[in-house]
């Protein structure tokens, strides 16, 4: 394999690292609120902005990273291999982690079980985005259309739960984490467009500072490379620390993702 196909784009790991810090910060204050330790407004204002910003960065980078994986494999294999099984396997694996979160929250929480959270979205999006990966403008057009459709589905309710994954909620629906395909898959496709524009042919098509070995970039990049692991374990760690410090009862029924 050519040397340039083995490199990582450090700036993407840095952005993931920033998103990880934002996510952990938001969930820390969420847990304080949920456990009644600290009264704060988590549904608006600065904290809401922090939480949404983390999700937006993660989801956008999903689409961008898919283009890198696609172009890297195509170039290394000479463009002859059918890559869909690879993306299907990866998407199914992440969606399975989402199902684990569904089971855990459904078991431990009295209300707010996560049915279609961010890992469910990412898993499905990896599979659904595959037909768009070889195009440049099509992901932009479809992505913007899906985002626009989200303005109409945001307040839409139906009498059945079977379209939750798409963005149509049943009356009285409540969950602690909800990222339906409409509008969030549109953001994934915008990431695909960005990847095919800014990193076409698995090469950076723009200039960037030589900051890869700076301490801040190294720390953030280290976090970004382990984003899935941190996502899966950070909530039990936060709640466990609160219990050990005596701020929450050992039997606290919370494991929010």
Backbone phi, psi, residue 111, to 5°: -150, 145
Q: Per-residue pLDDT for 257 more than 50?
A: no
Cβ atoms of residues 122 and 134 within 8 Å: no
Dist. CA 252–CA 110, nearest whole Å: 12
The predicted model gives 245-256 an average pLDDT of: 54
The predicted model gives 243-257 an average pLDDT of: 57
Between 28-32, 109-113, 218-222, the lowest mean confidence (pLDDT) is in: 109-113
Give 157's strand partners: 169
Which tops the pLDDT comparison, 41 or 216? 216
Question: What long-range pairs does 244-252 form, CB within 8 A, spacing at least 24?
Answer: 247/35, 247/37, 248/35, 248/37, 252/35
pLDDT band at 225 (very low <50, low <70, confident <90, very high): very high
pLDDT at 54: 96
Mean pLDDT of the chain: 90
pLDDT at 254: 46
In three-state secondary structure terms, 126 is helix
* Upper half-sphere CA count for residue 194 (Cβ side, 13 Å): 17
Q: Per-residue pLDDT for 85 more than 70?
A: yes
Which tops the pLDDT comparison, 92 or 39? 92
Q: Per-residue pLDDT for 231 more than 50?
A: yes
Which tops the pLDDT comparison, 186 or 78? 186
Smallest Cα–Cα separation from 26: which of 60, 49, 56?
Answer: 49
The predicted model gives 7-21 an average pLDDT of: 95
pLDDT at 2: 63
Which tops the pLDDT comparison, 145 or 39? 145
Q: What is the pLDDT of residues 146-167, one digit of tens each?
A: 999 999 998 889 998 899 999 9
Percent with pLDDT over 90 in the chain: 67
Q: What is the pLDDT of residues 18-77, one digit of tens each?
A: 999 999 999 999 888 877 788 777 777 899 999 999 999 999 999 999 999 999 988 877
Q: What is the pLDDT of residues 125-139, one digit of tens each?
A: 999 999 999 999 999
Dist. CA 172–CA 233, nearest whole Å: 30
pLDDT at 3: 62
Which tops the pLDDT comparison, 143 or 41? 143
pLDDT at 74: 85
Q: Please state the domain extents for the chain.
A: 3-83+124-155+182-244
Cβ atoms of residues 193 and 139 within 8 Å: yes
pLDDT at 251: 42
Q: Per-residue pLDDT for 255 more than 50?
A: no
Q: Is 89 exposed, middle or buried (0-12, 13-18, 19+ CB in 10 A)?
A: exposed
Q: Per-residue pLDDT for 248 more than 80?
A: no
* Upper half-sphere CA count for residue 30 (Cβ side, 13 Å): 22
Question: Is 0.75 surpassed by the pTM of this model?
Answer: yes
């Amino acid at each position: 394999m050519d040397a340039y196909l083995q490199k990582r784009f450090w700036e993407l790991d840095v952005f993931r690292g920033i998103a990880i810090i934002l996510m952990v910060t938001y969930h820390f204050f969420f847990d304080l609120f949920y456990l009644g330790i600290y009264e704060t407004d988590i549904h608006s204002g600065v904290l809401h902005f922090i939480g949404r910003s983390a999700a937006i960065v993660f989801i956008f980078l999903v689409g961008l990273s898919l283009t890198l994986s696609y172009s890297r494999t195509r170039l290394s294999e000479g463009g002859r291999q059918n890559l869909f099984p690879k993306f299907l396997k990866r998407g199914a694996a992440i969606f399975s982690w989402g199902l684990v979160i569904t089971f855990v929250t459904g078991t431990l929480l009295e209300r707010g079980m996560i049915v279609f959270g961010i890992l469910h979205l990412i898993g499905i999006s990896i599979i659904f985005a595959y037909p768009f990966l070889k195009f440049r403008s099509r992901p932009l057009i479809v992505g913007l259309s899906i985002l626009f459709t989200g303005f109409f589905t945001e307040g839409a309710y139906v009498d059945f739960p079977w379209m939750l994954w798409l963005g149509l909620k049943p009356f009285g629906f409540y969950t602690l984490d909800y990222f339906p395909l409409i509008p969030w898959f549109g953001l994934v496709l915008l990431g695909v467009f960005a990847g095919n524009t800014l990193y076409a042919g698995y090469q950076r098509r723009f200039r960037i500072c030589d900051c890869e070995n700076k301490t801040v970039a190294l720390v953030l990049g280290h976090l970004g490379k382990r984003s899935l692991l941190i996502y899966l374990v950070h909530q039990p760690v936060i709640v466990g620390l609160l219990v050990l410090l005596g701020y929450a009862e050992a039997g606290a029924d919370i494991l929010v993702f």
